[in-house]
Structure 1
């Protein structure tokens, strides 16, 4: 995944690396871990010391953080 736009074409069950998750959310890798530790979304432990993030969980998180703005 090179850009956020690329994520729109990926399946929900796609696992993202910490770097990809950070790019998708527009935050640092440290913030991804901080958000996870605060309970905002789960992690998938691939092996000891290797954590990935399910795209559907990140999409759900963004959905809870998005507000609609009224116009007019």
Structure 2
């Protein structure tokens, strides 16, 4: 059995930890994706249908060429 020089642990144990970390990373990604999808769905339900089709309001009125503050 090979011994890791950095962690002083058997290489097999380190390989198992790497696989476990990869799986938990994939689970975290899946959970975050589900949370974002749920938030989008809830946000679309809370908006009136007309608001979903119209563009977002502009924060400031558009200025014409040569116009000052």
TM-score scaled by length of structure 1: 0.29
Bigger fraction of residues in strand: 1
Please tell me whether Structure 1 or Structure 2 has the larger radius of gyration of its CA atoms: 2
Larger helix fraction of residues: 2
Alignment TM-score, normalising by the size of structure 2? 0.30
Q: 1 or 2 for the larger relative contact order (CA 8 Å, sep ≥6)?
A: 1
